[in-house]
Amino acid sequence: MIANAAEYPPLSPLKTGIRGRCPRCGEGHLFSGFLKLAPRCEVCGLDYSFADPADGPAFFVICFACIPAVVLALWIEVAFQAPYWVHLFTTLPFLLLTCIPPLRPLKGWLVASQFYFKAGEGRLDADYYARKEAERQV
């Protein structure tokens, strides 16, 4: 049963997105795979085609996880002049454990935020620019 959007109270994008739940009802699943969005919510029928997080999750992971991992690798290299196999057993697992797990919650949060704030493509208001031009000429 697909219900009217007015029947659902606004839900926190943080709570629904991080858990991978529907941003409208909070019950249905947001993902059909690890990072693949489901086509729609199986509970309320919300179509997820509005969602386009693009590279947002990867950007946040790069900023907050990859940089510390690279700093760790450089520190190990400079402090200990470690051979490559040491990096294989220290830096690589740290990099994988700090980069892969946050991708799904971040993508869920971005999709839920797009729904909550009704994000859409930018549009130009032609009337606004015509009024501004008319004011300048007066």
Give residue-wise pLDDT tens across range 5-50. 568 999 999 999 999 999 999 999 999 999 999 999 999 999 999 9
**Sign of the alpha-carbon torsion through 29, 30, 35, 36:** positive
Q: Are 85 and 76 in contact (CB under 8 A)?
A: no
Instruction: Report the b/e string of 47-62 with b at 16+ CB within 10 A.
Output: ebeebebeebbbebbe
DSSP state for residue 110 in the 8-state scheme: H
Query: Distance between CA atoms of 19 and 21, rounded to whole angstroms?
Result: 6
The amino acid at 75: W
Give residue-wise pLDDT tens across range 76-118. 999 999 999 999 999 999 999 999 999 999 999 999 999 999 9
pTM given for the model:
0.80
